[in-house]
Each structure stands twice: as structure tokens, then as C-alpha cells.
Structure 1
Amino acid sequence: MLVVIQLCLTLVLRPWRCWVVGGLLWSLAVPPAAGQIRHRPNHVAAPVAKPASKAVPADPPAVQAKLTRAASLSSEFKDSEALALYQDVLKTVPSHYLALWRAAVLSVRIGGRYSDETRKAAYFDAARRYAERALLIQPEGGESNYAVALALFNQASLYRAGARLLAFRNLRSHVYLATERRPDLPEAWQLRGRWQYRVAHYNLLERVYSKLVLGGVPEGGSSREAMAALEKARQLAPQNIQFCYDLARMCRYQGRRQRAIEVLREAEKIPPVTSEDLVVSRLCRQMLPPLLRAAARHQRRNPAQEEAPTVSPDPNGPKPPPDTLGKKEAR
């Protein structure tokens, strides 16, 4: 009886509660109109499509100005100043992909000029950190994979034999991804050719260690493919004298004397720009006379014999004859 009296008083004194309860019951009892059912999915789909069309925000004007200035300095071979600007950008935008991978490349370039292994290692370590941060942002980016491979390749020159072979195995996927994602990057083709040639010429102890400890020699080592990769790099950047020197040395050691002479002749026409270019130019000039003398002797002894054709500049093109590994040139 008390419950009934309390319920009546509640309904009399607070009628708005009845309206609320009645409205809720009505909304549950009456089904939605057909037009409402058709309209609801369109209303929900709009917010879902909005994030997909969200554009990546552009760099602030100050950051863009620093990036432009850094690229200009790098093209002028002022690597230290360019690196400082990229580092300044990373203080503002720590995850800036362009600044990260270019800072890695510049760090390797600067570190390679030092003869002191401590300084060299410090720059190579910094390059590795920049490159790995770029790789986290774009795991399959051509630039990030090139930066990682470049840092690993140069770090390996400071390692002991076992660690060096491990580094060569680890950078394989990076060097291939770099050329696949950025086939227009000549430095990536140069690095791929260097790696392929180095792996192709593992000595006996290196091969045994790789098979017993590392699970096998990395796939892809080939002198023929290495020379094809260097040909591709030269095709993309014909004025790079370092590419000429690397290719000429490979051709020389593989018995392709005539092609080595052709490349060195072309290197003579390239004016050196930096001090590194001047050193490489001198090495090219020193390599040429012995090759010319050996070619002249070979021509006198075998006037009717022609040298084997050079490799195709396209890695996917026709394959040249098998390599003559271990063949020594006459001097």
C-alpha cells in the first residue's frame, strides 16, 4: 500500500519523469522509418572517408628554406654545412624522412675522409642511427634502404672478419630494395655492384665461415652482375669519375681489358671537381698505361683474336660469357 501511495505522489509531483519514460518506451516500440534506415549508412560513411583524404602537412616555411639551402650546399660539396642544416631540421621535426636519409649519406661521406678510425667510426655510427630512423618511417623506401646499406657497408670496413661478413649478409636486402625502389639513384647501383663483387670474391676462409656460422654465402654475388650494376650507375651519372674507376678495376681483374681501357679513356674527359675526384682521376691515369701496354702485347701475339664482349649496361639484358675468375692480366 505504501508503494502505491509513493508511486502516485511521484507521478503527481514530477510529471516530467513520466514524459521521459514514455518517450523512451515509444522510441523502442516504434520501428524506424524505411527512409531512416537508408539514410543512416551514408551518414556514417562520411567520417570514415575523411581520414583517407587527409593530406600530409607540408613543411613549415622555415624548414623548407633549410632543406633547400642544405641541398644547395650538398651540390656544392659543402657536406659539413649541409649536414648541420639537416641536423637543425631534425631538431624541429625529428621524424623528417628526407633530412634523416640525407644526413646519413652525408655522415658516411664525411667520415670516409678521415684516416683516424675513431672519428671514422663515430660518423659511420651516426649515419647508421639516422638511416635506421628513416627506415622506421619508410621500411621499403629506396632512400632509407640505400642509407642503411651505405652505413653498413662502410662500417664493415672497420669490423673484424666475422662481424664484417655478418654485415655483408645483413645489408643484402637493403641494397636490392634500394635499386628496386629507386632505380634512378646511381649511387644505389654503385653500392649494389660493390657488394656483389665483394661477395663474389669471398676467399676460402670467408666462404667456410659463412656456411658454418652464418648459414651460407649471401645470394647475388656475381662479378658479371656487379659490372652490369656499375654500367647502370655510369649510364645514370656519366660524369661521376668514381663510377668509372670502380668499373675499370672490375673489368681489369676480370680480364676485360678493352672495356677497362674504354672506361678509363672516358674518365680522362671528366674534369675533377673535389679533392676526392682529383685522387680518383690520378688513380685512373695510373691504371691506364699498363693496360695499354698489355693490350699492345696481346695484339702482337694474337692479331686475329678479339677480346670477349663487355657486359651489357642493363642488368636485365643479355648475359655476357662466364667470368674468368682468377685470371691475371699480363703487365
Structure 2
Amino acid sequence: MLGVGLLCLAAAPAAEAQFLVPTRKPAPTLSKRPETPALADPPAIQQQLLQAASLTTSFKESEALAVYQEILKTAPTHYLSLCQAAVLSVKIGARYSDETRKTAYFNAARSYADRALLLRPEGGESNYAVALALFNQATLYKAGARLAAFRDLRSNVYLATEHRPDLAETWQLLGRWQYRVAHYNLLERLYSKLVLGGVPEGGSSRQAIESLEQAHKIAPGNLQVCYDLARMCRYQGRRRRAIEVLRAAEKIPPITSEELVVSRLCRQMLPPLLRADARRQKRQNSVPSVPRGSTLDTLRTPTPSVSQKE
């Protein structure tokens, strides 16, 4: 799943960069401040934000979500808590195999995200939360509703990268969306054109890889980003780049159970790519080199004439 955490719009400095997934290194300095500065939170809320940040850093997402929900009971329009609750709900819901529980968490995420979007329609964090909730809800929908969800989240995912270009999560989600739309099958394209007003603009394998490259540049230690990027490069025939990314992923130690699964997937993907690359190298080495200035005609063995045979 995509990463969790959202920029703290409150005055508490320790909670200011909470949008990124808890990583092995401190979160990078934010390159862009929120468009609308918020008033300082009361001390009690600041303390709760610090508590939630600590729980998130310790990968205790359910406990962190409970803290944000407590904040929302006393401050229903707290922007950070709404965005955080949305993203955490998606992350937790994605762990369940039971569709009923998944649906409950994804619906709750959408509710939190919509409330945040009402507060800040142009906010990078709120648009990311809405796009993330929609993208995951779509996995549970039937074909028509799923395609409508992919259409609806387009503006949100682009606004997320526009207003928060410093966050790997926004670029990763954009890349996933671009790749999915680029690979609509014939029926999906027909349905989109006839019922939904057309296939969403922006779907492109090349642009999807570019978006994931940007996510990887921002968060090279994110195993999920490495896996997504390597997989797309493999599908597009960019074997060397996929191998490069996967070899870098081998050096990233997994911490959570989810990271362990992704790490194994990366390791499973690498050997077939290495074998294919070795075969390609062998074929290239077996082809005789042609001297400069030579042509194929001059290199061919001349066929003896009739007089020569006699």
C-alpha cells in the first residue's frame, strides 16, 4: 500500500512532517508549505498529535488512528486529523482479506477525506487522501463503478502532486493511476467512451514510469515504490533499469510484515530478469563484429565461378 502520514498544519513542530511513511531516516524538509496556514492548536491537541506521530513511527497504525479519531471528537474540522485518519484507514483496511471489513475501512477513509477536501479543496494532502480512498474503493467495485472511480479521482491525484510535489506517495499514486488507465482493455475503453464521456486523459506507460521515478528519487528506501517501478519497467521492456532498482531494493532491510512480503516479491522478480539479460548478452557476444568501412557484401566468401571450379 501507499504510505501514510500527512503534513501537520498545526503549530506543533514535531508533528509538522507527518505525511510520509515512518522511514529509517528523518523525513525530508518540506519544500512547500500548505497554502492556507492554520492557527496554532491547543496544547491538548498538540500533545495528541505528538502521540499519534509516535505511534505511526512505531508502525502502530490502529492506535494512531484511534488518537486522530479522539481529536476529531473535540475538533471535527481538524484538517491534519481528517487527512491522517483517511490514509490510515486505507492502510489498515487493505490488510483484511474480508471484503466487508475492507469496505468499512475504505468507506470511512472516503468520509474523512471528503471532509478534509471541503476544508481545503486545493490542498495537496486532502486531494491525496481522496484519490487514495477512491483508488482503493475501486478495487471492490464492479467494472462500471470501478471505471467511474478512476475517472473521478483524476483531478485529485494531479492536484496532490501539484501542491505536494515533495511527497513520494503522491507521485506513486499518480504513477499507478496512469499505468492502470493506459492499460484499459477494449471493453473498458468502449464503456468509458460510451458511458463516461471518454477515457481519462493522462494514461501513459511512459508517464507512469516517470512519476514512479520521481517517487523513487524522493524515497529510495521505500520498498513498495521500488517494486512498483521495477515491475512497470519490466512490463515496458526496460530490463536493465528494473534490475538496477531491484538490486537496490535487496539492500533495504524490511521492518514490517508488509515490507517483508514486498521484499520477497522483489527478490522473486530479479532472477528471471538476470537470466534474460544474460541470454541477451550471450547473443550479442556471439555475433561477429564488422570492421569499420566494411559491408556485408565484402565480408561474404566469394562464390567460385565455373572456370575456377574447372
Give the TM-score band, short-chain normalised.
Answer: 0.7 to 0.9
5 Å-filtered alignment, 1:101-120, equals 101-120=83-102
For 1:74, the equivalent position in structure 2 comes to: 56
Partner of 1:240: 222
1:1-331 residue pairs with structure 2 within 5 A?
Answer: 57-303=39-285
Return the alpha-carbon distance in structure 2 between the equivalents of residues 297 and 157 of structure 1: 38
Name the amino acid aligned to 1:180: E
Name the CA distance, whole Å, in 2 between partners of 1:73 and 1:196. 33
- What amino acid is the match of 2:92? I
**CA spacing shift, 1:156–1:304, aligned 2, 3 Å:** farther
User: 3-state SS of the aligned residue for 1:77?
Assistant: coil
Q: 2 CA distance for matches of 1:139 and 1:65? A: 27
Matched residue, 1:325: none
Quick one: distance in 1 between partners of 2:197 and 2:285? 48
The amino acid across from 2:42 in the alignment is P
Separation in structure 1 between the aligned mates of residue 98 and residue 267 of structure 2, nearest angstrom: 28
Judging changes above 3 Å, is the alpha-carbon distance between structure 1 residues 56 and 80 closer, same or farther for their aligned structure 2 residues?
A: closer
- Distance in 2 (CA, whole Å) between partners of 1:56 and 1:210 is 40
Structure with the bigger RCO (C-alpha within 8 Å, sep 6+) is 2
The answer for unaligned runs of 5 or more in structure 2 is 1-36, 288-310
| Cα displacement (A) at 1:103 | 0.5
2:213 partner amino acid: E
CA distance in 1, matches of 2:286, 2:150: 43
Q: Call closer, same or farther: CA 1:57–1:245 in 2, change over 3 Å.
A: closer
TM-score by length of 2: 0.80
Counterparts in 2 of 1:245 and 1:91: CA distance versus 1, 3 Å:
same
Residue identity over aligned pairs, in percent, reads 76
Unmatched 5+ stretches in structure 1 = 1-54, 306-331
Q: Which letter maps to 1:159?
A: Y
- Shift of residue 304, structure 1, vs aligned partner: 9.1
Q: Secondary structure at the match of 2:106?
A: helix
Partner of 2:23: none
Q: Deviations over 1:246-298 (max 9, x none)?
A: 00000000000010000000000000011000000000000000000011111
In 2, Cα distance between equivalents of 1:240 and 1:56:
30
Number of residue pairs matched by the alignment? 251
Q: Which amino acid aligns with 1:264?
A: L
| Equivalent in the alignment of 1:308 | none
Q: Which amino acid aligns with 1:207?
A: R
CA distance, structure 2, for counterparts of residue 118 and residue 191 of structure 1: 24
Runs of 4+ in structure 1 over 4 Å off: none
Q: CA deviation at 1:303?
A: 3.6
**Any idea what SS the aligned residue of 1:159 has?**
coil
Change (3 A) 1:271 1:214: same
Shift of 1:56: 5.3
> For residues 225 and 302 of structure 1, what CA distance do their matches in structure 2 show?
30
Distance change (3 Å), C-alpha of 1:193 and 1:58: same
Q: State how far apart, in whole Å, the 1-side matches of 2:38 and 2:278 are.
A: 62
In structure 1, give the amino acid aligned to 2:111. R
User: TM-score of the superposition, structure 1-length normalised?
Assistant: 0.75
TM-fit CA distance, 1:302: 2.4
Distance 1:303 1:188 in 2: 43
Instruction: Give the aligned partner of residue 328 of structure 1.
Output: none
The one-letter amino acid of 1:80's match is: S
Paired position in structure 2 for 1:30: none
Which is helix-richer, 1 or 2? 1
Q: 1:211 to 1:299 in 2, by over 3 A?
A: same
